[in-house]
């Protein structure tokens, strides 16, 4: 379920933790990895769908759109769709138990994948569905987006990170990767993409079933939950002061989840545009 890449760095050159992990930069990294993996047919379909998008014309540019619109009255309904909560002792994801009536990130991935896929829908609805889908697959791979309800996924656990008061969720959203690597997100994406092996791709997609996206997303959500229990909650107490030692202990988890998110987003997006790929295959067969 989880591959640890090369050895954990033992010396951290710390930059000011201002950029994002699963914030703007992290979502862009997931989208960039996915884009590199996509078939030309799906890339073309995505480019066409986003051609007139107000907030950007690539999945990298629009990957954080769902966060930007979340506070707006017209999109407040989407707030619960960014995460799913599970009990600390949960042994697996249980959809009936863990996903409330208003939805969660697991149900959102199925919903918006299906909306992108439905060419009878208005193009604007499909465009927004695509932007939600890219974002939510990224969110699903942030461990604390599968955290505990009682502390709102670590938001209520106050800590100090490199002397700055913050909370546990925010350092997973914003600070760990920046403390390890202060380079711009395209440089991070290039480094992470180069480290993904064919073995990784096979392992990370072994439980992927495009006709049962709910179950597939549920399994990925439970991975995040288990990692949150072991690395986010398990290594931190309320009021803790964290710095390089915590980064050393968690950076591999954070980076692998970004890589997994990118590879898996590719698989989800390929199933969202089956007609485009099928048309291409038909054309190829007729030549």
DSSP 23: S
User: CA-CA distance, 109 to 245, in Å (whole number)?
Assistant: 35
**Contact criterion met (CB below 8 Å) for 110 and 268:** no
User: CA-CA distance, 224 to 219, in Å (whole number)?
Assistant: 9
- Residue 277's Cβ-count burial label (10 Å; 0-12, 13-18, 19+) is middle
Residue with tokens 């202990």: 249
**Contact criterion met (CB below 8 Å) for 19 and 185:** yes
Strands of the 164-167 sheet, one edge to the other:
164-167, 158-161, 241-242
Q: Which residues are catalytic?
A: 22, 27, 67, 70, 82, 135, 139, 145, 169, 173
DSSP 166: E
DSSP 50: T
Tokens of 212: 């049962």
Tokens of 162: 């490199």
């Amino acid at each position: 379920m989880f591959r640890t890449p090369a050895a954990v760095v033992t010396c951290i050159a710390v930059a000011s933790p201002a950029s994002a992990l699963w914030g703007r930069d992290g979502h862009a990294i997931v989208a960039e990895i996915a884009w590199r993996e996509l078939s030309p047919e799906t890339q073309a379909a995505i480019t066409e769908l986003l051609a007139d998008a107000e907030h950007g014309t690539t999945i990298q540019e629009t990957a954080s759109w769902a966060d930007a619109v979340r506070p707006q009255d017209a999109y407040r309904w989407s707030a619960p769709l960014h995460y799913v909560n599970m009990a600390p002792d949960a042994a697996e994801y249980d959809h009936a138990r863990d996903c409330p009536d208003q939805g969660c990130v697991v149900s959102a991935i199925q919903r918006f994948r299906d909306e992108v896929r439905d060419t009878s829908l208005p193009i604007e609805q499909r465009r927004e569905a695509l932007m939600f889908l890219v974002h939510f697959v990224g969110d699903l791979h942030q461990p604390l987006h599968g955290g505990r309800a009682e502390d709102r996924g670590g938001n209520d656990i106050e800590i100090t990170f490199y002397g700055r008061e913050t909370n546990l969720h925010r350092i997973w959203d914003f600070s760990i990767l920046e403390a390890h690597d202060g380079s711009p997100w395209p440089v991070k994406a290039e480094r992470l993409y180069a480290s993904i092996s064919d073995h990784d791709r096979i392992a990370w997609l072994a439980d992927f079933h495009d006709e049962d996206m709910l179950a597939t997303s549920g399994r990925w959500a439970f991975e995040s939950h288990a990692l949150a229990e072991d690395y986010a909650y398990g290594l931190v107490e309320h009021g803790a002061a964290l710095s390089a030692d915590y980064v050393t202990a968690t950076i591999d988890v954070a980076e692998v989840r970004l890589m997994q998110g990118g590879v898996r987003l590719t698989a989800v997006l390929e199933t969202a545009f089956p007609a485009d790929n099928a048309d291409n295959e038909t054309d190829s067969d007729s030549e």
